[in-house]
Amino acid sequence: MSAAATAGTWKLGDLEVNRIGYGAMRLTGNGMMGNSDGTPVDRDAAVDLLHSAFEQGVNHIDTAAFYFSPLRSANEIINRALSSWHGDVVVVTKVGPARDPSGEWRYTVRPDQLRGQVEENLRQLGRDCLDVVNLRAGGPRTASIAEHFGALAELRDAGLVRHLGLSAVLPEHVAEAQTIAPVVCVQNSYGLDWRRADESGLVDLCGEQGIAFVPFFAVSGLRREAAAGREQDARVQAVAHAHNATPTQVRLAWTLHRGPHVLAIPGTRNPAHLAENIAAGVLRLTAEELALLDKPDGSIA
């Protein structure tokens, strides 16, 4: 069994993936804003990193066309890595927001503009059909996603997309989308420090409907795209010490313990951190440890 398979598998529609995947957001820099002030990531090193992930059993990558820095594109690097890899890897991308070639954000797009975004992902990834496309909504304040999701459903019917998902949504958005086309995954910000998807019932709703729930910022939490810092949560430190594990592994393990439908997509450019992230799938937390981590005040008393 590969390292990434130790946490089990889940299906995105008819595509079975290991629950430990890889998020490409940091592949070209620190977060979606790129690394304009830093040295561009070495392409060969980035490809080697992805190959290492594949060798350890990662077969689910999360990406987007807007993950780029001045000289590097995550999709281009993924394309290069997959062109020299012979195994099956499911690539999940997202549309909705966009960035122009200079990096400026365009958050509002019309439904008819989504085809261009899908085609851009196809070109960059070198594919004729995208495995999964998530519609990233404008956030909880978005009243309806029907027109935009309907546009993606038409692209699915046209053969450009295999499966559809959602990102940054509420339960009512999932219900609305399900009346238009099947939803195979929901990607929201979620982790020990940010549990809005528990408060809204979204995590449990996805489990009940057989939809994969895919948290982002599961490790960084409230730091979001900031660089990793020293673990400040005494609960996480205590559990990590008990298992001779890293705090990051504990945070990932806690997330995976939320249900068999919950996937993990931690991202990194560090090969050692990549191996640690994947190894989190074997970490089994006790009921007492889960109760400790679930304390709302963060105490260990």
| Nearest to 32, CA basis, from 134, 116, 95, 105 | 105
DSSP label of 223: G
Residue 297 has pLDDT above 60, yes or no: no
pLDDT value, residue 294? 87
pLDDT band at 228 (very low <50, low <70, confident <90, very high): low
Q: What is the mean pLDDT of the chain?
A: 91
- From the number of C-beta atoms within 10 Å of its C-beta (0-12, 13-18, 19+), residue 71 rates as middle
Strands, E, within 195-278: which ranges?
A: 212-216
190 is catalytic: no
pTM across the whole model = 0.93
Name 14's Cβ contacts closer than 8 Å, sequence gap at least 6. none
From 22, 67, 107, 190, active-site residue: 67
pLDDT value, residue 108? 80
Name 125's Cβ contacts closer than 8 Å, sequence gap at least 6. 63, 75, 78, 79, 82, 91, 93
CB distance 130 to 160 below 8 Å: yes
CA distance 242 to 211: 33
pLDDT value, residue 125? 98
DSSP label of 15: E
pLDDT band at 3 (very low <50, low <70, confident <90, very high): confident
| Nearest to 168, CA basis, from 104, 94, 99, 252 | 94
Higher pLDDT, 139 or 291: 291
At 152-196, the pLDDT tens digits run 999 999 999 999 999 999 999 999 999 999 999 999 999 988 899
Which spans in 100-246 are helix H? 114-125, 146-157, 171-178, 196-199, 202-209, 234-243
pLDDT value, residue 221? 53
- Region 238-253: mean pLDDT is 95
Q: Distances in Å between the alpha carbon of 277 and those of 62, 81, 218, 221, 287?
A: 15, 20, 12, 15, 22
| Nearest to 218, CA basis, from 242, 198, 241 | 198
